[in-house]
């Protein structure tokens, strides 16, 4: 397996998880407001 491909895959996964967490936090903030 190419190390670069593994790094890109891990980075993409981290970005997707961060986006989901931020979206949930944004929804909660909007509901409170």
Residue-by-residue pLDDT tens, the chain, 33 positions: 689 999 999 999 999 999 999 999 888 778 776
pLDDT of residue 33: 66
**Three-state DSSP state, 2:** coil
**pLDDT at residue 14, rounded to an integer:** 97
CA 11 to chain centre: 9
* pTM (whole model) above 0.75: no
* CA contacts within 13 A on the Cβ side of 14: 6
Cα distances (angstroms) measured from residue 2 to each of 5, 7, 8, 9, 11: 5, 9, 10, 11, 14
| Tokens at 1, concatenated | 């397996």
């Amino acid at each position: 397996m190419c190390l670069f491909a593994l790094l890109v895959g891990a980075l993409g996964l981290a970005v997707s998880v961060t986006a989901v967490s931020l979206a949930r936090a944004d929804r909660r903030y909007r509901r409170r407001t």
